[in-house]
Each structure stands twice: as C-alpha cells, then as structure tokens.
Amino acid sequence: MKCRAPKARAFTLVELLVAMFIIAILVAIVVGVSSSVGRQAAIERTRSSMDVICGALDVYYDQAGVYPAEDPATDLKPSDCPWSDRDWQAYQRIIGLYGQLNGVQRARARLEQLAPDVRITVVAGIGWDNMVFADGFGKFMDYEATTIAGKMPLLTSAGADGRFETAEDNVRSDKR
C-alpha cells in the first residue's frame, strides 16, 4: 500500500484577484465616507464658531448701540501676496472685526468661549501678520457689515476649497 501525501490546495490567481478587487472596493467606500464625515465636521465647527462670534456681535451691539463697522481695506495688497483681491479684502475686514470685538470687555469675554484654533495668526507676509477668526477648515472668515440699523452683519467662511468666489461650498452665519 502506497502512502500518498495529501494534495496541497492553493488559491488560484483568479481567486486572489477577486479578493483584492473586493478589498479595493471596501477601501474606496471607507475613504469616501470618512472624507465626507470630516468635511461635515468642519462645517459644523464653523457654524458653532459663527454662533459664538455672533453672540459677541450682539454683546457689542448692546453696549455700543451699533454693530462693528466694516473696516475698509485701506492697506494696499503687497505685490508678493498670492491671494485674490477678494481674499485680501476679506482678510482686512476680519482683522478689523477682531480688533473691534476685543476692544469691548464683555464681547471679548464671549470670544473666550471659542476653541483656541479659531483665533489664528495669519502669517501672510512680513509686517502684516494678524490675529483673525478661522473657520473649521483653518482659513480666515470674512465679515460684511450692514447699513440697515439693527440688522446682524454677515460672517462667511470660504468653505472647503478656501475660495470666497465659489459660493456653493461657503458657510454663512445667516445659514443660507
């Protein structure tokens, strides 16, 4: 009687390719879901920060009787600045808002509720680094005052792409 060694069973190339294909599909699904969740978290963080800043604007209004003025972009954009003119104007306006709100003690106390990374220093060039309000994406926000008495000014985040010009992904304090 001959003793035969059991035949070793191995995966075929087709079976291995099918398994790899299934794993690739699962990875793509997980990556897609996680990036969507991260984007949504940044939007919610931005809305939460805007709520706190709007609370500080209300405190400012209660004390001064008006909302902070929109500082015009008086500084000329440096020639080496990579930003668009729209970004430069937004930067100038948010610097002005930050300074005005910090000048009122009760508004400043309200701003202390913000997470530390919402108040960031934008290092944009020598001589014009300033503290501003950042959104959940790490970019500075914009501030637009209104000429209608008692109407809340508008805060805008440039959204995930970091561009104010592409309004479809911007986050606004008026929730539009």
Domain range list for the chain: 15-172
Q: Tell me the pTM.
A: 0.74
Which residues, at least 6 apart from 108, have a Cβ–Cβ distance to it below 8 Å? 56, 101, 102
The predicted-structure confidence for 4-38, as pLDDT tens digits, reads as follows 766 767 888 999 999 999 999 999 888 888 878 88
The predicted-structure confidence for 91-150, as pLDDT tens digits, reads as follows 888 888 888 888 899 998 998 888 877 776 665 554 455 677 888 888 888 898 876 766
Residue 53 DSSP class: H
Closest CA to 159 of 142, 174, 145: 142
State the pLDDT at residue 73. 55
The predicted-structure confidence for 29-79, as pLDDT tens digits, reads as follows 888 888 788 888 888 989 998 999 999 999 999 998 888 888 665 667 777
